Structure 1
Amino acid sequence: MFLNSVGRSAKLLAGVAFVALGSAAAVAQTPTTTTAAADEGDLGTITVTAERRSENLMNVPISVGVASGDAVRDFQAGGDDTLLTLSGRVPSLYVESTTGRIFPRFYIRGLGNVDFYLGASQPVEIIQDEVVLEHVILKSNPVYDIAQVEVLRGPQGTLFGRNTTAGIIKFDTNKPTMNWEGRGSVSYGTKNSVNVDAGVGGPIVADKIAFRLSGLFQHRDDWVDNVYVGPKTDDTVSPKKNALGGFDEKDVRLQFLLTPNDRLSVLLSGQARDYKGTSTIFYRNSITKGTNDVPANFDRGQVALDEGGNNPQHYKTYGGSMKASLDLDFATLTSITAYETANGYSRGDTDGGAATVNLAKDGALFYGQSQGRLRNLDQWTQEVRLASNGSGPLSWQVGGIYFDSRDNTEFDQRGFFLNTGVAARNPNNWVLLHDINTSWGIFGQLKYQVTDKLTLTGGVRETRDSKSTRLVQSSRNALGVDSYPATARRYVKMSDTKPSWDVSALYQVTPEVSLYARVAHGFRGPTIQGRSAVFNSDFTTANSETNTSFEAGLKSSLLDNKLRFNITGFAYRVKNIQLNGNDSNGNGVLFNADKADAYGMEADMELRPIRNLTLTGGLSLLHTEIKDKNVYAQVCALTVAGVSRVVCTVQDPLIQRPLFGVQTNFAQIDGNPLPNAPKYNLNFTARYDLPIGPGKAFVATDWNVQGYTNFVLYKTKEFYSKGNFEGGAKAGYSWNGYEAAVFVRNITNEKNLKGVIENYMAGVYSEPRIIGVQLSASFR
C-alpha cells in the first residue's frame, strides 16, 4: 500500500530417485518442425512470429521462450488450469491466481501485478491468434488445440502496444488447412478428473474454403469438504461432504479459411466459453506465525467456511475475429478485426474460515465475503498493418491499431448476502462501476541486413491510452441512504500519450551461433482502482509506468543440430512503477513508487544425446528491488477493540499512522523484491522412446523447482515460498498416430504455498496429485 500518498529435502531426493528409475513423463518443451527430423536424431527448427513474421528463432533478436502444443497438453492432462500450468515451464515466466481460474496473473522477469480487482491492468499482455486480450477475464480464456506458445520477454511496445512493459505471451492455435487433419486427447484421473482437447478440419471447397472445429472439456468433482458446524447467516450449506473444489470447463472454437485467389486469404474465427466451478479456496490460519512451513495436520480436502455459499464461480465469454491478408506484390496488407464479450461472477469466503472457529486465535469475530460480478464487457479491436515482401536486405512494416473496451462491473459485500433477520444484513451493500478504456497506436519497424552476418532492427510506436471509471451506483445503508462521502470522487478519467521503441543487433558468428543485443522502452498506461467505493472510500489511481530494458544473448544450434542452447542476460529499470497493496478491509489500493531495478539471466536447452532420448532444461535467475524510501505498505493486522494487532512477523522497519481512526502499522518496502518474482526457476524434462513392434514405448518426466518468492510488498517470516517443486510423469505406447499412456501430475503430492490472505494468515495451495490414463490420436 501507500503512505507517501498514505523434511522437504527428503521428498526432493525421492523425486529425483523417481526420475532416475525412469518411471516418468512429458514431452520436450520445445517443438520440432518434423517427425522425420526427430526420428533421425535432429532437433529440427523452431519457427516463431515474435516480430509479426514467421522466422527461425535463431534469427530473432528477442529473448523468446517456446512451448509446443504437445507439451502444454501433457501439463494439463489432469484437468488443471491450462494457463497456470505454464508457470515455470518457460524460463522467467510465473503465473498465479488467488481469484480462481477466471483471473490468472502473469509475471515475466518478475514484473507483474498482484491486484485482484476486475478492472486491473497487467504489464504482461496476452495475444491469442493475433488478438489482444486486455481485460483480466479475457486473459483467463483457456488454451486448447494449441500449436505453440511463445513468451516474449522484456518490453514489446513497438509491435504490440502499451501494457507490455514485462512482455507478452502469444498463443497460436491450430488453423484450418486444405488437407484433412485432426488431433485429440482424452484423459481420466482421480477425483473424476476429465480432460478432452481436440481439433479437426479440412476442405469444404477444394483450395478455396476450409474449416477447423476445436473444443475443450474439463471436469473435476467437488472434493473439498466444508466441515463447519454452527450457525449460518447466509445460504452456505454445511457441514457438507464434497462441497467445493470442482469445475466444468466447456470451450469451442470454429474457424473458416477462405482463399478465393492466390493473393487474398480471409480467416474467420468464433469461440465461446462456459466455465462453472469454485473460486480460490483460502485456508484460514493455515500459516503459523514465525514460519511458512505447512502445518503437519493441514488437509487440503477440508475447510471450515461459514459464509460465501461454498465459493461459486461462473463465467461466459464469446468472441470472434476476421483476419484478411492481401498480397500486393511489394508488400502484404493485413487487417484484423475482433470483438470479445464476457459476463459472470465469482463469490468467496474471503477470510478463509469460520469466525466462531477462529475466535480464540483471532481475538474477535471476523467475517468476510465478497462477490465480483462482470455484468457485461465489450471489447473491439481493429489493426491494420503493411509488411514488405521479398528477400532483399531491407524489410519493413508499418501499421496502426484502435482498442475500445467498456464494461459494467458490480462489487457485492457481505451485508448483501446475509439472511433476512440478521442484524448486519444490508441488501444495498454493493456498488456498480462503468469503465471505459480506449487506445490508439501507430507503429513502424525497419530491419536491415548490413552484411551477411550483421542485421540491425529498429522500431517505434506512439500510443494514446485513456481510461475512465464512473460510480453508477454507490453503496447505501440498509435504509437506502447513500453513504458515499461527498468528498470522494464518483468519476475519474486519466489519459497519457507516450512513445515506445526498441533497437537491436544480431550477429551471425557461424551458421550455428548467433549473438544479439537489444534495448527496448515501453509503458503501461494509467490505472484506476474503483472497487474501493464499496467500502465508501475514494478511488485510488496510479500514473503510467515506463520500463527501459537492456539484454544481450546467444542463440545456438550445435552438434549437428542435436543440441539447442540459448542464453540471455538482462537488466531493466521501471520508473514510476505501479504497485498494489491492501487497506484495512483487504481492498486493493493503487500507488506509484519511484522505481524498481532488476537484473538476471535466462537459459534454455534441448539435447538429443542419443537417438531416442530427448532432454530439455530451463533456468532463470532474477534479482528485483523496489527503490523508494518514502513508500510504505500496510502490514498483516487485525483490529480488536480499536487496537491494530500485527499477526505475522514483519522484518521491515515499521511506522504507525492513523487509518480510519485506528493507529495502523506500515512497513518500509524500500529495497524489497517485487512480489511473485522468483529468485530462480529451474525446469527439466526427459523423454525416452524405445521402438517396439509397429510403434514405440516411451517414458518421460517433467520437473519444476522455484526459488525464494515473496508474495507481498513487505518481508515476513511467513508470506513467501522457497524451494517449491513439482513433478509430472507419463509412460505409454504410441503407434500409427495413436497413443495410450498413464500419467501422474504432482507426483509427490506437494502442498506448495502459492498465495496468502495476510490478515487471516490464510494460505492458497497447489493442486493435489492426479493419477490417470490418457488416449490420444492424430491424422493428416
Structure 2
Amino acid sequence: MKAMKRSTLATLINATLFSAVAGTSFTTLAEEEQAKSNQLEVIQITARKRVENAQEVPVSVSALQGDNLDAYSSAGMDIRFMNAKIPSLSVESSFGRTFPRFYVRGLGNTDFDLNASQPVSLVVDEVVQENPILKGFPVFDIERIEVLRGPQGTLFGRNTPAGLVKFDSVKPSQEFDGYASVSYGSRESVDFEGAVGTGLTDRISTRVSVLWQEQPDYIDVRSPEGVTNEFAKEDSLGGYSEKAARIQFLYEGDDFTGLLNYHVRDLDGRPIPFRANLIEKGSNNINPIYDNDVVFHDASSRATQQVETQGLSLKLEWDLAEHTVTSISAWESAEIFSRADVDGGYGASFLPAQGPGVIFFPAETADGIPDHDQITQELRLSSNYSGDFNYQVGVFYFDEELAIESFSYDTTQYDAAAGNYGLQTGYAIQNQDTSAWAVFGSFDYAVSDKLDVTLGLRYSDDEKDFTANRTQTFDEKRPVNLSKATNTSDSHVSWDLSATYKLTDDVNLFGRIANSFRAPSIQGRIVFGDDITVAESETINSIEFGVKSDVLDGQGRVNATVFYYQMDDQQLTAVGGGANFNRLINADKTNGYGFELDTEWVLTDELNATFNLSYNNTEIDDSALAVEGCAQCTVKDGTNSAGRYLLDGNSLPHAPEWIANATLRYTKELEGGDFFVYADTSYRSEINFFLYESVEFEGEALFETGVRAGYAWASGDNEYEASVFVRNLFDEQVVIGGVDFNNNTGMLNEERFIGAEFKVRFF
C-alpha cells in the first residue's frame, strides 16, 4: 500500500512539473465567463488587514473559495475538510467535529485538553478564536479562506508563531441575493445551508445564513470473539445533529460603516469512535476485524458530545480621507460536554472478559466547559496616503475566563442514580483567567517603482491565573481533595521585515524575516494526576524567499516559497506511560525547512487545472529531552538512564513531509446550461502520532479523491445546479490518530461518501 501511494505521488509530481499544472484554484460559477476568456481572476486577500492583490503581498499565502471550497466541504464535512488541501496545512482532531488542531509547516499542538493553546491561530471575521472549541465553528456562506504560512506576530499577534487561518464570511449588501442548497447522501445524511441578504433601507442591509446537518448513528457495537457483550447494539455511534446560524447588519454612511455580526452553533452528536487494538502490534496495519462501521465498546450507550457556542462582534470604521479608524469589539462563548469510551474496547485484563486484544484497564472519561467567555477589542489607525509611505498602528486587548471539568467513570460499576453502568469515580475542575494586551504597527515604504519594504513591530503582554481542584478520585492511593494553583506572565517584542521586488509586470520576488512568540501554557488535568505543568514561552525566527508570477498572458500563475525556521523552547505535550494525563514540556530547539508551490492554469476555454505541493522537514534538537512511551507498542527511540525515550532528532508529530493536491474542472455548454465535472485529489505522507517514534503509531500516507459532476442552468432571475458527488472515492481506510496510554487504540478516517445536491442562487 505504501509503495502504491508513493508511486501515485511521484506520478502526480512528474505530471505537474511536465505540464506546469499546479496551484490553488478559485474559479466560481459566477466567474466562468472570465475563465472562458482564458484569464485567471485577480485574487484579492486581506492577509495584511488591507484589501490587496495576493500576487503583491510578501507573505506565503493560499486561499480557498468558489468551486474548491464547495467541493471540499461536500458531504456535511466539518472544518477538517481543509486537511492537505493547502500546501503545508494539515488538520486533525481526536474529538471529531469539534476541537480541530491545525498544523502549518509542521508546527502545531497535539494536546487534547480543553485548555490547550495552539501556534496556529484561527481568525473568523477579524476576531481571534482562541479556545479550541471555538475553532470548530461550521463552514458555511464563506467568501474566502486564507492560510498565511510562517510567523504572523505583528498584525495578528495572538499565538501565531506557525501561521494563521483566516475565514471571511459573505457580507451584507444593498443587492438582494441569496442561495439555498440541500444534499442527501450515504448513511442517510442530510445537509442544508442557505443565506439571503438585502437592503433594509438606503443605508442598512442585512444577511442571514443558516446551516443544518443531520446524520443518524450508523456504527454497530459488536461482541469481541468469544465474549458475550450485553452492550452490543446496532447503530450506536457516528451520528450528529448540527445547527448553526449567522445574522449580520451593515450600516453604510458617507464616511462611516458599522457591521454587527451574531453567530450561534448547537451540536448534539457522538464523539469520534476509538477502537481498541486497532493497530496490529509490530506493524501499523489495521486489525482486520475492524470496518469503519464496527466497534467493540462497553460504554457506547453513554457516549455523547454536546457543543454550544455563540458570539457577537461589532466592527466600526471611519473614513477620514487620508486615514481610516477601525474598531472591532467582540464576545465569544463556548460550552461543551464530551464523554467517550476512550479505551475503545470491552472489559479489561483483570476482568472475566476483554477484547479485542489486551486491555489493561477500562477508560471512560468526559471533559466539559461549563463556563467560558472571551472578550477582545482592537483599535487601529491606517493611513491612506497617495505617496510612498503608509502605515497601520493599533492596540489590542484580550480577556478570557475559562472553566474546565474533567470526569472519570468506572465502566464496570452500576450507577443506581443514573440507571446504567459507568459510575462516576473522579472529578476535578480547572479555572483559568487570561489577560493580554498589545500595541502594534506596520510601516510600508516604496523605495522605488519596483521595490517596496514593510517593517512590523508588536509588543505583547500576557498573564494567566490558574487553579485546579479535585474533589473525587478513582485512585485510593491519592488524596481525594487536592488544590493546585499557579500563574504565569511574559512579554515579548515580535517583528518582521519584508520586501517585494517587481522583476517584471507579471513577476514579483519577495523576502521576509520574522520573529514571533507564544505565551506560556498551563496544564492541570489533576483528576488523572497530581501535578500542574507549565510550558515556558516559545519563540521563533523564520526566513523565507519566494516568487509570485502570472505567466502566459494571464493563463497561468506560479507561486513558490522556500523557508527555514528555528523555534526556541517549543511547547510540546507528552502523553503516555499508562495514564490519561498531559504533561507540558519545552524542547530546547526545533528546526524546520522546506518549500511550497502554488500554481494555477486555464488550459482551454473549458478546462481548468491546479496542483499544490509542499515539503516540510522538522527536527527536534534537544539531546536531553525524553518522555514516557506507550504500553504495548514498539518504540524505535533510544532511552535515557530513567528508561524514558529520547526525542533528539525526531520529527514533530502530525507533521507530514509531503502534502500535494490537484484539481481539474471541465465545463461544457449544453442545452442552454453548463455540464461540469470537478475532480480533486489530495495526498498527505506518513506522520508520527506522538513525540516518540514507534512502529504502531506511524500513520500511513493518506490519499483521497473526490469527484463532483452536475448541470448548471439559469431560469429567470435564478441560477440552478444539480450535482452528484463522492468523497474518498477509493474508500481509503487509514489510521489517523491514536491513544497511547492503554493499548494500541486508534481512530480511522471517514469512509467513502456518495451524495446528491440541488442548489439555487437567486438575485
**So what's the TM-score if we normalise by structure 2?**
0.93
**CA separation of 1:474 and 1:544: change in aligned 2, threshold 3 A:** farther
Distance 1:182 1:428 in 2: 51
Distance 1:446 1:771 in 2: 50
**CA separation of 1:29 and 1:256: change in aligned 2, threshold 3 A:** same
Answering whether residue 742 of structure 2 is matched by residue 742 of structure 1, we say no
Gapped regions of structure 2 (runs ≥ 5): 16-22
Please give the residue correspondences for 1:128-143 in structure 2 after superposition, counting only pairs within 5 Å: 128-143=124-139
Answering whether residue 638 of structure 2 is matched by residue 678 of structure 1, we say no
Write the letter of the residue equivalent to 1:62: V
Corresponding residue number in structure 2 for 1:774: 757
Answering whether residue 60 of structure 2 is matched by residue 63 of structure 1, we say yes
Aligned-residue offset at 1:143:
1.6
Answering whether residue 379 of structure 2 is matched by residue 384 of structure 1, we say yes
Aligned-residue offset at 1:30:
2.7
Corresponding residue number in structure 1 for 2:106: 110
Answering whether residue 331 of structure 2 is matched by residue 334 of structure 1, we say no
Distance 1:735 1:773 in 2: 17
Helix, strand or coil: the match of 1:535?
coil
Answering whether residue 544 of structure 2 is matched by residue 542 of structure 1, we say no
Aligned-residue offset at 1:238:
2.2
**CA separation of 1:432 and 1:719: change in aligned 2, threshold 3 A:** same
Distance 1:656 1:484 in 2: 34
Kindly report the root-mean-square deviation, in angstroms, between the aligned alpha carbons of the 2 structures: 2.7
Please give the residue correspondences for 1:440-479 in structure 2 after superposition, counting only pairs within 5 Å: 440-476=437-473
**CA separation of 1:398 and 1:684: change in aligned 2, threshold 3 A:** same
Corresponding residue number in structure 2 for 1:688: 666
Corresponding residue number in structure 2 for 1:324: 316
Name which of 281, 285, 291 aligns with 1:293.
Answer: 285
Write the letter of the residue equivalent to 2:97: R
**CA separation of 1:557 and 1:34: change in aligned 2, threshold 3 A:** same
Note if contact 1:575-1:594 (Cα within 8 Å) is conserved in structure 2. yes
Write the letter of the residue equivalent to 1:451: S
Helix, strand or coil: the match of 2:563?
strand
Write the letter of the residue equivalent to 1:213: V
Note if contact 2:415-2:423 (Cα within 8 Å) is conserved in structure 1. no
Answering whether residue 217 of structure 2 is matched by residue 225 of structure 1, we say no
**CA separation of 1:230 and 1:700: change in aligned 2, threshold 3 A:** closer
Name which of 72, 77, 80 aligns with 1:80.
Answer: 77
Helix, strand or coil: the match of 2:48?
coil
Write the letter of the residue equivalent to 2:429: L
Note if contact 1:280-1:311 (Cα within 8 Å) is conserved in structure 2. no
Corresponding residue number in structure 1 for 2:407: 412
Aligned-residue offset at 1:221:
1.5
Q: 1:411-452 CA deviation, whole Å, 9 max, x = no partner?
A: 001249942479998646101111111110000010011111
Distance 1:571 1:634 in 2: 30
Q: 1:487-541 CA deviation, whole Å, 9 max, x = no partner?
A: xx6111001000111000100111110000000100000000011x102411111
Note if contact 2:432-2:464 (Cα within 8 Å) is conserved in structure 1. yes
**CA separation of 1:653 and 1:479: change in aligned 2, threshold 3 A:** closer
Write the letter of the residue equivalent to 1:244: L
Write the letter of the residue equivalent to 2:233: K
Aligned-residue offset at 1:356:
4.5
Helix, strand or coil: the match of 1:74?
helix
Distance 1:179 1:158 in 2: 36
Write the letter of the residue equivalent to 2:634: T
Name which of 207, 212, 216 aligns with 2:207.
Answer: 212
Distance 1:333 1:473 in 2: 48
Distance 2:226 2:730 in 1: 38
Write the letter of the residue equivalent to 2:127: V
Distance 2:644 2:268 in 1: 38
Corresponding residue number in structure 1 for 2:694: 716
Aligned-residue offset at 1:293:
2.1
Gapped regions of structure 1 (runs ≥ 5): 1-6, 21-26, 638-646, 658-664
Note if contact 1:681-1:706 (Cα within 8 Å) is conserved in structure 2. yes
Answering whether residue 510 of structure 2 is matched by residue 510 of structure 1, we say no
**CA separation of 1:755 and 1:104: change in aligned 2, threshold 3 A:** same
Helix, strand or coil: the match of 1:610?
coil
Distance 1:12 1:199 in 2: 42
Corresponding residue number in structure 1 for 2:734: 752
Aligned-residue offset at 1:36:
3.1
Distance 1:249 1:238 in 2: 27
Corresponding residue number in structure 1 for 2:340: 348
Note if contact 1:483-1:536 (Cα within 8 Å) is conserved in structure 2. no
**CA separation of 1:511 and 1:49: change in aligned 2, threshold 3 A:** same
**CA separation of 1:461 and 1:202: change in aligned 2, threshold 3 A:** same
Answering whether residue 551 of structure 2 is matched by residue 558 of structure 1, we say yes
Aligned-residue offset at 1:590:
0.4
Distance 2:641 2:237 in 1: 40
Distance 2:423 2:612 in 1: 52
Helix, strand or coil: the match of 2:94?
coil
Corresponding residue number in structure 2 for 1:519: 513
Q: 1:69-106 CA deviation, whole Å, 9 max, x = no partner?
A: 4422211211121x100011110000000122111100
Write the letter of the residue equivalent to 1:651: K
Q: Share of identical aligned residues, percent?
A: 38
Q: Which moved more, 1:685-694 or 1:182-191?
A: 182-191
Helix, strand or coil: the match of 2:85?
coil
Q: Which moved more, 1:8-17 or 1:280-289?
A: 8-17
Note if contact 1:677-1:709 (Cα within 8 Å) is conserved in structure 2. yes
Note if contact 2:154-2:495 (Cα within 8 Å) is conserved in structure 1. yes
**CA separation of 1:612 and 1:306: change in aligned 2, threshold 3 A:** same
Note if contact 1:155-1:521 (Cα within 8 Å) is conserved in structure 2. yes
Distance 2:542 2:88 in 1: 15
Name which of 30, 38, 48 aligns with 1:41.
Answer: 38
Aligned-residue offset at 1:17:
12
Corresponding residue number in structure 2 for 1:641: none
Distance 1:497 1:29 in 2: 40
Distance 1:614 1:481 in 2: 64
Write the letter of the residue equivalent to 1:443: F
Note if contact 1:41-1:612 (Cα within 8 Å) is conserved in structure 2. no
Note if contact 1:243-1:310 (Cα within 8 Å) is conserved in structure 2. no
Answering whether residue 490 of structure 2 is matched by residue 491 of structure 1, we say no
Corresponding residue number in structure 2 for 1:395: 390
Corresponding residue number in structure 2 for 1:178: 174
Aligned-residue offset at 1:609:
1.4
Distance 1:44 1:474 in 2: 60
**CA separation of 1:390 and 1:667: change in aligned 2, threshold 3 A:** same
Q: 1:526-564 CA deviation, whole Å, 9 max, x = no partner?
A: 000011x10241111100000111000000111111101
Distance 2:315 2:333 in 1: 18
Note if contact 2:72-2:81 (Cα within 8 Å) is conserved in structure 1. yes
**CA separation of 1:651 and 1:743: change in aligned 2, threshold 3 A:** same
Helix, strand or coil: the match of 1:102?
coil
Distance 1:17 1:620 in 2: 15
Distance 1:423 1:738 in 2: 51
Corresponding residue number in structure 2 for 1:579: 572
Helix, strand or coil: the match of 2:76?
coil
Write the letter of the residue equivalent to 1:471: A
**CA separation of 1:725 and 1:424: change in aligned 2, threshold 3 A:** closer
Write the letter of the residue equivalent to 1:744: V
Write the letter of the residue equivalent to 1:219: E
Write the letter of the residue equivalent to 1:553: G
Distance 2:498 2:7 in 1: 43
Note if contact 2:407-2:424 (Cα within 8 Å) is conserved in structure 1. no
**CA separation of 1:579 and 1:252: change in aligned 2, threshold 3 A:** same
Q: 1:462-498 CA deviation, whole Å, 9 max, x = no partner?
A: 000111211244435799995246xxx6111001000
